[in-house]
Amino acid sequence: MSGTGKHNVSGENGPTQWQSQALGALQEATEAFLVSLFHDANLCAIHAKRVTIQQKDIQLARRLRAAWGAPV
């Protein structure tokens, strides 16, 4: 996401304006969260002697994160 303008987004409460910086920060945080989650899920798959991540690996990674107080 680039630029310095504002973006209109329609939501439940009507149109909302988002600055490009805010959208960029949201995208970066989302990507970091997903990369971290998939890394943990990959470790679960490796532990199960598999090379492919399955839904149960992501679920286990989220459960382990919740147990340790990390963001799920």
Other Cβ atoms within 10 Å of 34 Cβ, number: 10
Q: List the structure tokens of 53.
A: 């991540």
pLDDT in tens, 46-62: 999 999 999 999 999 99
Q: List the structure tokens of 22.
A: 């805010």
Give the confidence band of 3 by pLDDT, cuts at 50, 70, 90.
Answer: low
Does pTM top 0.95 for this prediction? no
Q: Which domains does the chain have, with CATH numbers?
A: 7-67 (1.10.20.10)
The pLDDT value recorded for residue 40 is 97
The pLDDT value recorded for residue 29 is 97
